[in-house]
Each structure stands twice: as structure tokens, then as C-alpha cells.
Amino acid sequence: MEFEIPEHLRQIVELIKWFAKEKLRPLGIEYDKKQEPIPPDHPFFKEVKQMGLEIGTIGGGKEDGGTESGRIAERFGIPKDKSTMFATLSIIGAEILAWGDQGVTMSFPGPGLAAPPVRVMGTPEQKKMFFDFFRSSESPAWGAFALTEPGAGSDVARIRTTARKEGKYYILNGEKMYITNGARAEWVVVFATVDPKLGRAGHRAFLVRKGTPGFRVSRIEKKMGLHASETAGLVFEDCKIPEEQLLGGESYYSSKEGFKGAMETFNMTRPAVAAMAIGIARCAYEYTRDYFSENYLLNKVSILSAKIKAELERMKRKLDIARLMCLRAAYLMDMKQPNAKEASQAKAYAPPIALDVITKCLDLLGEEGSLEYHHLVHKAYRDIKVFDIFEGTGQAQRIVISKRLFANKGRPPEWLHS
């Protein structure tokens, strides 16, 4: 087992570290004070695009029209035979960028959360069309993923946005909410149902282009944290979608494998979300550690000093455990092995740990961390809460994990398999 970042990836990691510290953090604080999303015409997004850091541009292959791992490898001079470990790289990068500022990171242009379902479910023609759009766009462009509804979040079987077939078109009607970059996205992957009574078997996913008649933005959400990121509500009213934009085509949904394939996209994104939570918590932890170190409290022999050291040690230990869980899920993905249980374990464990760490930081800092609204640790406390909710709540993750534990009943431990 290797715990070192390969030499051919280190330059990418160093670039991300510099970018997070020098660019993301100042911008995140600025828009936290404004309590509004960064506008899409902000020059920062052109810089992101020029650097090849768009969200959704790591982890693909030839089917993505050359926009994914091959493009990253080419840009940084990575030999083609070594252009692996991109899931692992995305986990490392997600933590570092969140350490800089997660609200800004979520605003990055690119295919975004729409990329995984297109990559997993799309036909070759759909993949080429979708990824070529982002590759050829001269200006920053966004993608979005629309699943959550007012009455359906973690229980995705309850979605009520309908898709009615009429000739060579599907007619969408319904409402989506809490959609990251939903108002600025050029393409949105929208989940709907052909029959609510069928539950998951009735689900379909569609590629919907901005400006399609019947598709509109209902509102931009006001949030407790992550102010730099845009979160929108979307409405579909007799929205007419060509059948060619049914993700995967009709044959993809002929069995339960269709929904299973859709849910596999979460196995890609959940470890990344967990890593983001670690990054936010690490920002608070490092500020707290440095604050007490610079004020000499940790060099004194006292009960207070001993307590602070013990709390900081506990924080660091738990963050390290959470990081290893994320990396394990990513490693399995890179090895093209099943990782649903490991992805859910990382997602179930990391956000509560991150919240606990940040809460302890606030307790230790007292007035230093809590009086100023836009203080880094105060901001981290507001930013972190949603991470136990989106991409599936902690409760939903525990259901996924337990199902796989009982599915292996009677079998030897996984690490004993030949």
C-alpha cells in the first residue's frame, strides 16, 4: 500500500495548494461578507478555465471526447501510461480546494455534478455532445445535477417530476430545489419519473439545455453558509425534450440496472464531498492550532495548555482517519472495483467529524472565533452543516452500508478474498 503522492501528480497538487490559498480564500471571505454568489462573469472563472481546474474534468477517458484525464495529463506533461489515480487525485484536490474555500470551489465552471451521470449512463453520442460542449466553449460554462425536490431528497424514490412520452419527445413537469449552479448552468441532468407508482423503476434522466421552453429558474436560495456558491430552484412546465436527450436511451431503462447505474454516480461524488468536509475542518483546525502556538499557550506547563494539546491531538487524529476512508473509496474507484460501501462509509463519517472538530475549535477560541461573523472558524461552522445532508444524509449512508454488510453474510472478510 502506497501512501505517497506519485511524483507525476505532485506538481498538480502543489498548484492546487497555491491556488486555494492565494485565490480561493480571499474571494470566499469577500462573498461571505456580501452574502451573495460570485457572478458568472467574474474574471476569476476565466482564470479557473485557463488553468484547467473546471469541476468535472477529472476521471473520464476517451469516451469523454478527450476532455478528461487525457487533457489533464497532457497539460501537466504526465505520460499516458501513468494517467491513472485520477479519482485519488480528485479526492486530494477536493480537500485542498475546500481548505481554501468550499463556496468558491462549488462555483467553479465545468460539467460539475452533471458529469458523473453522463459518464456512467450516457450513450457515446451523448457523451461526445455533452463534453465537447464544455471543451469547445471559449467562455466559462456550467453544468448542474437536478434530483432533489421539495418532497424528495435522500429518498430519491419519491421524486414527482414527471416525464410523459409524446411521439419523439418527453414532456417534463415538476420542481427541483437546492440545485448547485442551477441558474447559470447551460446543461442540467434532470431526474424525472414516467410513473410515480413504479418507484425507482420509473426513473429517467434527461439532458436539458438552458433556454428550453418550459424550463425556468424559480429563485436563488438564501443560505446559512457557502454564500459564494449559487443554489437555485428550477421549474419545468410542459418542457419538451427530444427523446435523443433521454440519458442512455430507452434500452438503458429496460431493467433495474438503469436506476442502479444512476445511483453509481454517487459512488464517485460521495467520497469527494467527504473530503470537502475534511478540508473545511482542517482550515478551522489549523487556524486554532496556529493561534495558540503563536500566543505561547502551548509552551507553558499548565492544565489549560494540556487540555488544548489534547483537544488538538484528537481533532488531528479524527481528520486523518476520515481522510484515509476517502482515499480508500477513491483507490477502489481507480482500480475499477466496487466501492459503494466505502463511499458511503466516508460520507457518513467525515461530515459529523468535521462538525465536531469545528465546534471544538470555537469552544477553544472563545471570543477569538465567535465574535466576528466572517472569522474563518465562524465561517467554517456555517459552511459545514450542509455536508451531512447533500449527496445523501448520514442516515441514508448508514442504510447503504448496512445493506452491503448483510449482503455479505457468511462470507470471509473482504481483505481475505483472493
CB 261 within 8 A of CB 209: no
Tell me if 388 sits within 8 A of 397, measured CB to CB: no
Measured between alpha carbons, how far is residue 69 from residues 54, 81, 90, 258 in Å? 12, 12, 11, 26
Nearest-angstrom CA–CA distance, 102 and 171:
36
Pairing of strands 169-180, 203-209: unpaired
Task: Say if residues 92 and 13 touch (Cβ distance below 8 Å).
Answer: yes
Distance CA 44, CA 42 (A): 5
Spell out the residues 6+ positions from residue 29 whose beta carbon is closer than 8 angstroms to its own: 101, 374, 376, 379
Q: Is the four-CA dihedral 190, 135, 58, 83 of positive or negative sign?
A: positive
CB 230 within 8 A of CB 112: no
Give the torsion sign (CA, 402, 403, 404, 410).
positive
Side chain identity, residue 96: I
Grid cell, residue 205, equals 434522466
| CA angle (181, 17, 394) in 5-degree steps | 50
Q: Which residue among the candidates 68, 186, 264, 391 is catalytic per the annotation? A: 391
Dig out the grid coordinates for 190 from the structure. 434532470
| 4 has catalytic annotation | no
Catalytic amino acids? 391
